[in-house]
Chain A
Amino acid sequence: MSGPQDVGIRQRARGAPGGRASQAQSPISEPDDDHLAAYRARDGEGWSIEHVLETREASVGIVGVLTLLAFALRFYKINHPDQVVFDEVHFGKFAAHYIQREYYFDVHPPLTKLLFGLAGWFVGFDGTFKFESIGDSYTDAHVPYVGMRALPAMFGSLTIPVVYAIMKESGYSNVIAAFSACLILFDNAHIAQSRLILLDAPLIFFMSLTIYSYIRYRKLRYLEFSPAWWGWLLATGTFMACTWSSKVNGVLTVATIGIAVLIDLWDILDIKKGYSIEYFWKHFVARAVSLIALPITLYLLFFYIHLSVLTYSGPGDTFMSPAFQETLRDNELLMNSQEIRYYDHITIKHKDTKVFLHSHPERYPLKYDDGRISSQGQQVTGYAHDDLNNHWQIIPTKALPETGRGRIVRHEDIIQLLHVNTQTLLLTHDVASPTMPTNEEVTTWPKDDHSRYNDTLFHLRLVDANPGGSWKTKSGHFKLIHVPTKVALWTFPGQLPDWAFNQQEVNGKKEIAEKSTIWYADDILATEDGEVKSADEIGHTEPKKMNFFKKFGELQILMLQHNAGLIASHPYASGPFNWPFLVSGISFWTQNEGQKQIYLTGNLLGWLACTFGVAIFVGILGADLLARRRGVDPIPLPVRNRLWNSTGFFLLVWAVHYFPFYLMGRQLFLHHYLPSHLASALVAGSVLHFVLSETINYPISLRGPSTRPQPPQKADIGMKGPVVVAVFAVFMFGLFVYIAPLTYGTPGLTGEQVNARRLLNTWTLHFAAKKTDHV
């Protein structure tokens, strides 16, 4: 048990005073490269610019300038446009729901949206503006939108110093770190995405912090279980949880760290390292606590806050189960749910399409257009509006007691439904429905004609009900299974032709397990005695309680299902293959007046540099593998280790945040690549370093008590480094300014200017000038 403390003490003992002492005695063994840089500079090896740039003071200066620039570029004209842009429609609305405390449903975890809500509340937004559609004016509605936009802009700006720090901590020189930071700093896509009420800027910020913390933690690996080690490990877990809770894509960051940790643990397990298995378990438990238990706790915590804030009924109710809905104040179920008794007159609604089960005296045509024949029975359709023809009466198929609870309709009862106006019973039979040969036609049959009694029997199956559970309006979701043929009453958004007044088709579906066969009783219009109950009579209005974990579980499953279900096509959706090459962007917002538009697209120069960086790095790794296979070692060992371990980690981040999208069926957009783009900027930086110089900063990990001192090296990228980076940054900034009107949405552009800014002909910009007749 004394192991870690022991190490800790030794480390502390060596820490502050010892460090200084060793510097005094033998500066060459001091591993801290910042000090080393200062030392080298002091040593008078040269006061040339490239050495000055590598000092600690220069580093602080560079970070300061970059950060200031980042804030400037992200906050510039942040109030423009004063209209709802792109997905602000969703995320702004969610913030409003938090302020109003109305329950909503979304596929993404709540952290960022909570922060938006907090920001909105902080700047005095009352939540009444509902961000209904793109282009709605904020100014007219007096929404303090600038305050809300400032939050992601701040996150986006702070990402820049974090990127710089990641590179710095990984042992690259200041200039190279500045290069990577510039790739993000001057990137139009990152800027456009940060200036609006969108989830990506916080996601990317937390992701970069996760990477940063993990690198800091890795560097302390020889001082295991020291306070600093624990600190950075826990920080990694915390930021990882924040990333994951910001947006569902954050799960990829979790996977990245997971893979890195597994590799790390695999190394510790290696017997050649000479560790005991107890030691291994200690490491394992430390990581399990910090990277599994802690993040899960935080994730749950954010959901706990989410559910504690949203206690009122809202637009998200209908996604949830009735039990969940009854925990929300003012929920319709809570207010109106009542038990249904036999002979009650009710209306029945389809859960997905919200149409009433309807019938009218008109009959199905004998012959359809495609030549099939119908039974020519009375039509049964789905109808979206209130109508007397929506009324159905529940007829029992068993003996009922005179009064009392025995008359309540229960789960698994077999019932008949009587259409009140025509006094006919609902029936289905083995006749093809009007539009689907595979499904059964639904019609009705006169009440007094008992010849087809069996075909009018339906099995009432309540969803998630206990045996004998009573059927309630609103909350009692049910399926109606036809007894003889085992089909479920079903409808879908498909119109019938004119002969049914274009109402929705209702038919019997064989796949009774499908969720789309769920209906619910909307209202009781009259009981057997003909009396109508008023809403006031119905009891409890106090919300019910439900276990947090149950609520959480239900919400998680729904989020997953809906995320997978987002497959509708979108004109600006694009496949993952297009992203690294910036083949297409997304039109966020347009305004005809002044020909203004916001078009999400990156800085082409920067993106190509990043993509080239990744390609070159993969090429280097491949060449190294091939060469080593043939017994040649082209790269010196320390440099090779740096390439594989540090740049390799960046590549891992890139790959894990990129390739899973190929497997996803859901609609994908360019902004899903932004986390990967950040990783590729890191790769590009280290590739530039490798190209410029074969030297590295070494060692960068902190020495442990038992680590052998290594002769330190200093990266020297010479004068060409700063020059290359400076020239590149100038060009990037130039291109950024050139495309900026598309990023900031101002100033407006003429048709010719738009055409000129269409750097790739696959970009679909608005207001492009018509080409004159050619050919």
Chain B
Amino acid sequence: MKRSGSDPISLNFGTPEVSPRTSSDFEEVPYPHQSATTTTQGWHVPSREQEELPLHYMGEETARRRVTRTPGGNGVYDTHVEGPDNYDDEGKDVYAKMKAARMPVSSGRPRRPPPPPATTVSEFVQQNLEHIPPIIYTLLSCWTRFHKIGKAGVVVWDEAHFGKFGSHYLKREFYFDVHPPLGKMLVGLAGLLAGYDGSFEFKSGEAYPDTVPYVAMRVMMAMFGVAMVPLGWYTAVELGMSWRACHLVALMVLLDVGWLCISRFILLDSMLLFFTFTTVFFMTKFHNQQYQSFSFDWWMWLSLTGLSIGCVASVKWVGLFVTTLVGLYTIEDLWNKFGDLRMSTRDQCRHWGARIACLIVLPILVYMSTFKMHFLVLNHSGPGDAQMSSLFQANLVGNNFASSPLEIAIGSKVTLKNVGYGGGLLHSHVQTYPVGSSQQQVTCYHYKDDNNDWVLLPQWNEPAYDPEGPIRFLQNGDVIRLQHGPTTRNLHSHTVPAPVTKLNHEVSCYGNATIGDDKDHWVVEVVDDLKAGKKVENIHALTTRMRFRHQVLGCYLRAANAVLPQWGFKQIEVSCDKENNPADTHTFWNVESHWNSRLPPGNSKFYRSPFLRDFWHLNVAMMTSNNALIPDPDKDDILASKPTDWPFLRLGLRMCGWGDTQTKYYLLGTPLIWWGSSASLFVAFLALGVYLMRMQRKYVDMEPREWEHFLYVGKVAFFGWFLHFFPFLIMGRVTYIHHYLPTLYFAVLMLAHQLDHFIFTARRLSEKTKWIAFGVCVAAIVITFWWFKGVAFGIDGPINEHWGLQWRKTWNIYNL
């Protein structure tokens, strides 16, 4: 246990003539304190306190605890004067001291006073030496990220989606997608800066024409990937890791082929990763400002955290997981503050207020403003119109809703829009129900199509509609028949259970222009009119909300986001609800398109649609579509993978065609990084369990500060990982391996933390051992990366000629 005298690291407690090592007591302490006095980083600041209180004035027990070891454990003494309780060793109650270390400053990066302003260049360089490694890493990451970035001049993988969405911004056409708009707007911006005109279709696998500056766009996306590397470095520094661990974090971020590969294309993931990294970085930065609450720096890092949360959630909803991490951190922090009885009520309130303003209000504002910009830019009619409310669509340029006739009459051809959030257009098609009545399907559909057209006709027992007769306007309480335009069948309901919502009646299309019965009759009940108010008799296009009651059964026509199986093309089920819930907007419908040649066109007066309603509507629609992305049991997706496949990299993903002449990209992580980081999670758990049990038996393994630090970094890494991983397990939707990429970051932090804890800052190991371990880690990572770099840089020629890439049997990298 004892160090030999020849050890390069020696103790310096200011009173070298008395060494604590003379104590026989010392044998009982598992870790003799051997903090190095010199560090490679040159951060040595002798502790004032240490000098004031020489060791020989204390008992051995006290002396043992006197040595404060920094969280990084890298031999940096802390200059922070701790409360007097910390060294009160009257009783031997270790737990009391554990509690004393509850102040939030006890973990994270060790603080040191700011250096005096540099007067000479060499002093400036001296002071900023620590920034040299990240600068080098950033340059290296520029090389990895940009190297041969334009090699595959074809649309790779999801570039087909996100490139297309970027084009929509340039063309300003409204589209619909399940992801929030920020990332795609940045794609659009990249296109704009690169001089792209938005004319390309981005069909999967198609070659880029000369008009598309795809290399420039990819480079701009890859910038986010480049920035991940220095962020990783500085986060590790802020987390108080030793310099070796910082190097490892930066190296792993630099050299993971998964992160590399995903950053090199026009995808959202590089931005998602970037903002995830910034969020963690700002949070750790903020943590280290905790000792000076309400200082400028404190406010700055807190609001930057909030800003970053807003951005990450505006790129993909996956960002909400890192938001939750910040939330948990904040809750713990506030809980500690709440227990601080010395803090004044005013300060308590200020703390709460600051968190609410910066971490709740600010992100929401950011999120909403991205949508505001989204709506402002996309002011032309486009492919996503039908997801939005009719009123919203009326405001889009190129949409003629506003000019269609205002008042609906019998004989009009209309489309009917469900008012409920995520509602679509009433639709029918020739396919029949495979269950229930086997009649023609009726669904809700989100795209414009002739099959959405319905003709309003009188009841069977009334004289047939006469196109020459007097115009009869539709009124509240009228009983009508709805005839499907293309198939001339009538909207019908009967006492057959609906296919999904089994408690409701099935709605189908039945008969034709001459065949039918009284189950085709629907009573029009007006709910209200968005312009004219509550009481209206005539039905207006767009603004009048109405319900359709089945005359015979008394049920209400309803479409509530229940998705039909594959036989219904995943469209939304329409059923007839036996219950009368007058407040259920899913039973509300409004006329969207309206054609009637006998009526005068409406004046294009301005239909206003409030932003908040559109915002909410679009978010619910996104949510609904997201939930509808469930694995299709009939159609197995060879690209999809299960969350349990990810941590140990059971599967990769072919990102493009696998022909011999194509450049092939395979989404796969650097195996060592993935395996090692996942394993470190288990190690962390085991270590925590052992330490806790030993604490319960009063074995003192660590200083309270060290323990705090061990917990703090472990908590950030573990909860970050858990929050990014666990939800995918219970999520019903289809998942892909790239969903693990943000998760991986936390696993990597955990790996570095565990290596730090067990090797780089372990007191028992010699500096030489640490060097060897460090060297082995670095070499292994670099060599594995080099081995696998092809999957991210692009593989040419027949894949089977590239030897040794299949490290697991389950990878489908080779053609069988």
The interface of chain A, by Cβ under 8 A from chain B, is 266, 269-271, 277, 436, 438, 486, 492, 494-495, 509-511, 514, 569-571, 626, 629-631, 663, 665, 761, 764, 770-771, 773-775
Q: When the two chains form their complex, are residues A492 and B636 in contact, meaning their CB atoms are under 8 A apart? A: no
Which among A277, A509, A511, A630 is the interface contact of B338 at CB below 8 angstroms?
Answer: A630
Residues of B within 8 A of A774 (CB): 580
Q: When the two chains form their complex, are residues B525 and A626 in contact, meaning their CB atoms are under 8 A apart? A: no
A631 to chain B, nearest CB (A): 5
Q: When the two chains form their complex, are residues B635 and A438 in contact, meaning their CB atoms are under 8 A apart? A: yes
Beta-carbon nearest neighbor of B581 in chain A: A761
Q: How many A-B residue pairs have CB under 8 A?
A: 49
- Prevailing SS type, chain B contact patch: loop
Assembled-state Cα–Cα distance A492/B732 (Å): 22
Q: When the two chains form their complex, are residues B339 and A761 in contact, meaning their CB atoms are under 8 A apart? A: no
Interface 9-residue window, one of B191-199, B496-504, B612-620: B496-504
Q: When the two chains form their complex, are residues B634 and A269 in contact, meaning their CB atoms are under 8 A apart? A: no
- Given the known interface contacts A629-B339, A771-B554, the answer about A436 and B502 at a Cβ–Cβ threshold of 8 Å is no
- Given the known interface contacts A271-B698, A492-B634, the answer about A486 and B816 at a Cβ–Cβ threshold of 8 Å is yes
Beta-carbon nearest neighbor of B431 in chain A: A369
Assembled-state Cα–Cα distance A630/B342 (Å): 10
Which among A271, A494, A510 is the interface contact of B634 at CB below 8 angstroms?
Answer: A494
Residues of B within 8 A of A514 (CB): 636
A611 to chain B, nearest CB (A): 24
Residues of A within 8 A of B636 (CB): 438, 509-511, 514
Q: When the two chains form their complex, are residues B338 and A629 in contact, meaning their CB atoms are under 8 A apart? A: yes
Beta-carbon nearest neighbor of A628 in chain B: B339
A329 to chain B, nearest CB (A): 37
Q: When the two chains form their complex, are residues A630 and B696 in contact, meaning their CB atoms are under 8 A apart? A: no
Beta-carbon nearest neighbor of A584 in chain B: B503
Which among A492, A511, A569, A665 is the interface contact of B502 at CB below 8 angstroms?
Answer: A569
Q: Is B730 an interface residue (CB 8 A)?
A: yes
Assembled-state Cα–Cα distance A269/B502 (Å): 55
Q: When the two chains form their complex, are residues B696 and A271 in contact, meaning their CB atoms are under 8 A apart? A: yes
- Given the known interface contacts A270-B696, A492-B634, the answer about A571 and B335 at a Cβ–Cβ threshold of 8 Å is no
* Chain B residue total in the interface (Cβ 8 A): 25
Assembled-state Cα–Cα distance A761/B730 (Å): 31
Residues of B within 8 A of A436 (CB): 634-635
Q: When the two chains form their complex, are residues B635 and A511 in contact, meaning their CB atoms are under 8 A apart? A: no
Q: When the two chains form their complex, are residues A775 and B338 in contact, meaning their CB atoms are under 8 A apart? A: no
Q: What 0/1 pattern do residues 681 to 711 of B give for CB contact below 8 A with A?
A: 0000000000001001110000000000000
A172 to chain B, nearest CB (A): 32
Kindly name the residue among A269, A492, A764, A775 whose own CB sees the greatest number of chain B CB atoms within 10 A. A775
Q: When the two chains form their complex, are residues B696 and A569 in contact, meaning their CB atoms are under 8 A apart? A: no
A649 to chain B, nearest CB (A): 21
Q: When the two chains form their complex, are residues A626 and B338 in contact, meaning their CB atoms are under 8 A apart? A: yes
Would you list which residues of chain B between 621 and 667 have a CB under 8 Å from chain A? 634-636, 638
Q: Is B90 an interface residue (CB 8 A)?
A: no
- Given the known interface contacts A511-B638, A569-B502, the answer about A277 and B497 at a Cβ–Cβ threshold of 8 Å is no
Residues of A within 8 A of B554 (CB): 770-771, 773
Q: When the two chains form their complex, are residues B638 and A510 in contact, meaning their CB atoms are under 8 A apart? A: yes
Kindly name the residue among A509, A510, A571, A631 whose own CB sees the greatest number of chain B CB atoms within 10 A. A571
Q: What 0/1 pattern do residues 467 to 504 of B give for CB contact below 8 A with A?
A: 00000000000000000000000000000010010110
Q: When the two chains form their complex, are residues B696 and A266 in contact, meaning their CB atoms are under 8 A apart? A: yes
Residues of A within 8 A of B434 (CB): 495
Q: When the two chains form their complex, are residues A761 and B579 in contact, meaning their CB atoms are under 8 A apart? A: yes
Beta-carbon nearest neighbor of A571 in chain B: B502
Q: When the two chains form their complex, are residues B696 and A269 in contact, meaning their CB atoms are under 8 A apart? A: yes
Residues of B within 8 A of A570 (CB): 502
A510-B638, A514-B636 known; 8 new pairs, CB 8 Å cut-off, are: A269-B696, A492-B634, A511-B636, A571-B497, A630-B339, A770-B554, A773-B554, A775-B549
A212 to chain B, nearest CB (A): 30
A-B contact pairs, 25 of them (CB 8 A): A269-B697, A270-B696, A271-B698, A436-B635, A438-B638, A492-B634, A510-B636, A510-B638, A511-B638, A514-B636, A569-B500, A571-B497, A571-B502, A571-B503, A629-B335, A629-B339, A630-B339, A630-B341, A631-B341, A761-B579, A770-B554, A771-B580, A774-B580, A775-B525, A775-B549
Beta-carbon nearest neighbor of B338 in chain A: A629
Residues of B within 8 A of A266 (CB): 696
Residues of B within 8 A of A509 (CB): 636
Assembled-state Cα–Cα distance A535/B635 (Å): 41
Residues of A within 8 A of B341 (CB): 630-631
Would you list which residues of chain B between 524 and 574 have a CB under 8 Å from chain A? 525, 549, 554
Residues of A within 8 A of B525 (CB): 775
Q: When the two chains form their complex, are residues B696 and A277 in contact, meaning their CB atoms are under 8 A apart? A: no
Assembled-state Cα–Cα distance A269/B434 (Å): 63
Residues of A within 8 A of B549 (CB): 775
Assembled-state Cα–Cα distance A277/B580 (Å): 67
Beta-carbon nearest neighbor of A664 in chain B: B730
Residues of B within 8 A of A630 (CB): 338-339, 341
Q: When the two chains form their complex, are residues A764 and B503 in contact, meaning their CB atoms are under 8 A apart? A: yes
Residues of A within 8 A of B730 (CB): 663
Residues of B within 8 A of A771 (CB): 554, 580
Residues of B within 8 A of A571 (CB): 497, 502-503
Residues of A within 8 A of B635 (CB): 436, 438
Residues of B within 8 A of A511 (CB): 636, 638
Residues of B within 8 A of A271 (CB): 696-698
Q: What 0/1 pattern do residues 424 to 445 of B give for CB contact below 8 A with A?
A: 0000000000100000000000
Residues of A within 8 A of B580 (CB): 771, 774
Q: When the two chains form their complex, are residues A269 and B693 in contact, meaning their CB atoms are under 8 A apart? A: yes
Beta-carbon nearest neighbor of B339 in chain A: A629
Beta-carbon nearest neighbor of A270 in chain B: B696
A166 to chain B, nearest CB (A): 30
Beta-carbon nearest neighbor of A509 in chain B: B636
B688 to chain A, nearest CB (A): 14
Kindly name the residue among B335, B339, B525 whose own CB sees the greatest number of chain A CB atoms within 10 A. B339
Would you list which residues of chain B between 122 and 180 have a CB under 8 Å from chain A? none
Assembled-state Cα–Cα distance A773/B636 (Å): 49
Beta-carbon nearest neighbor of B434 in chain A: A495
Kindly name the residue among B497, B554, B635, B696 whose own CB sees the greatest number of chain A CB atoms within 10 A. B696
Assembled-state Cα–Cα distance A770/B579 (Å): 11
Residues of B within 8 A of A569 (CB): 500, 502
B325 to chain A, nearest CB (A): 21
Would you list which residues of chain B between 385 and 437 have a CB under 8 Å from chain A? 434
Beta-carbon nearest neighbor of B578 in chain A: A764
Assembled-state Cα–Cα distance A436/B637 (Å): 12
Kindly name the residue among B580, B636, B730 whose own CB sees the greatest number of chain A CB atoms within 10 A. B636
Assembled-state Cα–Cα distance A273/B525 (Å): 74
Residues of B within 8 A of A495 (CB): 434
B391 to chain A, nearest CB (A): 25
B577 to chain A, nearest CB (A): 12
Residues of B within 8 A of A773 (CB): 554
Which among B339, B500, B579, B697 is the interface contact of A277 at CB below 8 angstroms?
Answer: B697
A274 to chain B, nearest CB (A): 11
A767 to chain B, nearest CB (A): 13
Residues of B within 8 A of A492 (CB): 634
Beta-carbon nearest neighbor of A437 in chain B: B635
Beta-carbon nearest neighbor of B567 in chain A: A494
Would you list which residues of chain B between 697 and 744 have a CB under 8 Å from chain A? 697-698, 730, 732
Assembled-state Cα–Cα distance A277/B338 (Å): 37
Q: What 0/1 pattern do residues 353 to 365 of B give for CB contact below 8 A with A?
A: 0000000000000
Assembled-state Cα–Cα distance A626/B730 (Å): 32
Beta-carbon nearest neighbor of B477 in chain A: A775
Assembled-state Cα–Cα distance A255/B147 (Å): 54
Would you list which residues of chain B between 495 and 523 have a CB under 8 Å from chain A? 497, 500, 502-503
B528 to chain A, nearest CB (A): 14
Residues of B within 8 A of A486 (CB): 816
A676 to chain B, nearest CB (A): 20
Assembled-state Cα–Cα distance A771/B580 (Å): 10
Residues of A within 8 A of B579 (CB): 761
Assembled-state Cα–Cα distance A630/B337 (Å): 10
